[in-house]
Amino acid sequence: MKNSIIKGDVLSVLKDITDNEFVDCGVTSPPYNKKKVGGGDSFRKVVYENFDDNLLEEEYQQEQIDILNELYRLIKSGGSFFYNHKIRHVKGNMIHPLKWLTKTKWHVRQEIVWNKRSAVEFSGYRFYQRDERIYWLYKPVNNNIIGKRLKGKDATLGSIWEVPPDRKNEHPAPFPLEIPLRCIMSVMRDVSNGIVIDPYMGSGTTAVAAKLLKHNYIGIDKSQTYIDKANKRIVDYKQYSNILDKENKLHYVKKSYKQRKQKMGLF
Ligand SMILES: C[S@@+](CC[C@H](N)C(=O)[O-])C[C@H]1O[C@@H](n2cnc3c(N)ncnc32)[C@H](O)[C@@H]1O
């Protein structure tokens, strides 16, 4: 399973994995159940090659809860899962991801706003939505929901991440490499040769990030076409080293937490 993308339906594949607590971290972006909405006001419709992303909303949310609970079983206590989604509007009603995330076993540790700086819809019913969200989900150790601190050089990135979309990727809905790089790098500083899971692997972006950071990956996707393309990207992961170098430069602080508190007279 390690360093491969399993072809199949995500929930069935996860349920078939009998080992528990062997994965260090995960990052994913599921399909958003968006096909029905958007009218004619989208710059770009997301069309997947082998499914129509069109479940009843209640079914969709229950499936996401079931998948996230399976992932909770696989991830180690103290481990993290980063879940990228967005606020959707259906017939005027806002659907917020926290509606189902708070029904999972996970502790929602942070909501990060991903400012993509570009919107896909231009209807004017609302101010253009240029953001998506990234939920940092945390699996507590012995019910301690606080968990370990991030290093200052990672925390300094803040809770609004400005990262433009990856327009070079042919997949219909990829996230840019910076997103999984930032997530994995920030929570896995103390882990070497760890395992990172992405249950909706798409074009393999999370796997490329894991490889660049010298970790292993496990992926799932139901499209053989996307898996084949992802595997090609993963083989060539070193071509993305420049993005890792740029990301590394952002993870920097002049002063430690202690030095900053001392300066403010808090010690
Ligand atoms: C939003 S895309 C993920 C893109 C990925 N983050 C990237 O950067 O390329 C969602 C992916 O999930 C896959 N998918 C959708 N439903 C699935 C299911 N039930 N089981 C497995 N894979 C699924 C699709 O084929 C698609 O590649």
| Closest ligand 1 atom to 230 CA | 9
Percent of the chain with pLDDT over 70: 96
Nearest CA to ligand 1 atom 15: 31
Q: Looking at domain 4-263, does it have CATH number 3.40.50.150?
A: yes
Using the predicted structure, report yes or no on whether residue 124 has a pLDDT greater than 70. yes
9 neighbors 222 (Cβ within 8 angstroms): yes
Q: Is the CB of 180 inside a 6 Å radius of any atom of ligand 1? A: no
Give the amino acid at 7.
K
Q: Is the pTM of this model over 0.85?
A: yes
Residue 130 near residue 119, CB atoms below 8 Å: yes
Is pLDDT at 42 greater than 80 in this prediction?
Answer: no
Q: Which of 18, 12, 21 is nearest to 197 (CA)?
A: 21
pLDDT at 165: 96
Is ligand 1 within 6 A of the CB of residue 173? yes
pLDDT at 39 over 60: no
**Cross-sheet strand order for the sheet of 131-138:** 4-7, 216-221, 195-198, 23-28, 75-85, 131-138, 107-115, 160-162
